[in-house]
Amino acid sequence: MKKIISNISVLLLVIAISSSCDFVTNVNPPVEPSTTGGGTTGVDISDSTVGSNPAQKKALVEDYTGHKCGNCPQAAIVLKNLETTYTGKIVPLAIHAGFFATTNVTYPTNFQTTAGTAYDSQFGNSAAGNPNGLVNRVGYGSGGFIKAYTNWGTEVVAQIAQTPKFQLILKYKYNTGTLKLNADVKVKSLASNTGIYKVVMLLTEDKIVAEQLDYSLPVGSQTVLNYEFNHVLRGAINSEWGDVVFSGGAALNATQTISKTNFQINSNYVPSHCHMVAFIYDADPASPTHYEVLQSEELELK
């Protein structure tokens, strides 16, 4: 009898151990919260920082364009070549505004923005006939202010050869679930500067596929339905004309920071294709260099 009881005890112990092992093996690992862009459950914070080289002035190249502008793809090619030739010295910006950017049945995708319309109205680019653009907005008020795309390269070379007056340090954080963006731009004066200066923060997006007229193609196939748009202005993060950083001049090594919190990224945008673009410009209406961009920088959202 004692032997039978002993055997039963051993059997029960084996069953207990075996059951315990099964329980541990079948436990699922913890489920991580979703961080898919455009979702509502993501809680991850993506962040990054970049600072402009204090020894290198960059060229903000604004390409005024539109999907109904058949010559505009040629300007986009020129801008791409400039990026390749002067790597890290170009900040590209494609502004869709004016008649060529309006929509219709053939060209339904709307790339127009409040900021882009404001720039086009102020500077008169589309009225002058696209494609054209601005390079650091040099020469406002003069006959040569608006630059033909064939002349962008010459203007870029002249600008990037100059000594920068300011350094920009960009920083962002955004919630990958709510797509709320917090953006900071720290400005450091690299010289003793007089005047009024503002900083603008913009959002751009690359790799957008939509329709575009292209006169370089044979008649009958000039409407391209899968054209890739890059550097598209999506809107102003702070405002199209920016915030004042220095109102009474800037002493050597003086710093100021502009911040914007809870900027909502449109759920139709792809954050990993977006860039935060910032630039500082002469905001003194009485200055002979009014509107001129003195430094620019961009930071890819990840």
The verdict on residue 7 lying in a domain is no
Instruction: Give the model confidence (pLDDT) of 37-76 as tens digits.
Output: 333 333 456 677 777 788 899 999 999 999 999 999 999 9
What is the distance, to the nearest Å, from the Cα of residue 5 to the centroid of all Cα atoms in its chain? Answer: 77
pLDDT of 193 reads 96
The verdict on residue 75 lying in a domain is yes
SS3 at position 11: helix
The verdict on residue 1 lying in a domain is no
Q: Residues of the chain whose pLDDT is less than 70? A: 1-46
pLDDT of 49 reads 79
Q: What is the pTM for the complete model shown?
A: 0.84
Concatenated DSSP letters of 121-184: HHH-HHHH-SSEEEETTTTTTSTT-SEEGGGHHHHHHHHHTSPPSEEEEEEEEEETTT-EEEEE
Number of domains composing the chain: 1
SS3 at position 245: strand
pLDDT of 36 reads 30
- Helix 152-160 and helix 72-85: axis angle, to 10°? 30
Q: How far is CA 174 from CA 33, 182, 184, in A?
A: 16, 6, 12
CATH of the domain at 231: 2.60.40.10
The verdict on residue 161 lying in a domain is yes
The verdict on residue 17 lying in a domain is no
The verdict on residue 51 lying in a domain is yes
For residue 288, count other CB atoms closer than 10 A to its CB: 11
Half-sphere CA count of 43, side-chain side, radius 13 A: 3
| Domain extent for 181 | 33-300
pLDDT of 2 reads 41
Instruction: Collect all residues with Cβ–Cβ distance below 8 Å to 219 and sequence separation of at least 6.
Output: none
pLDDT of 51 reads 75
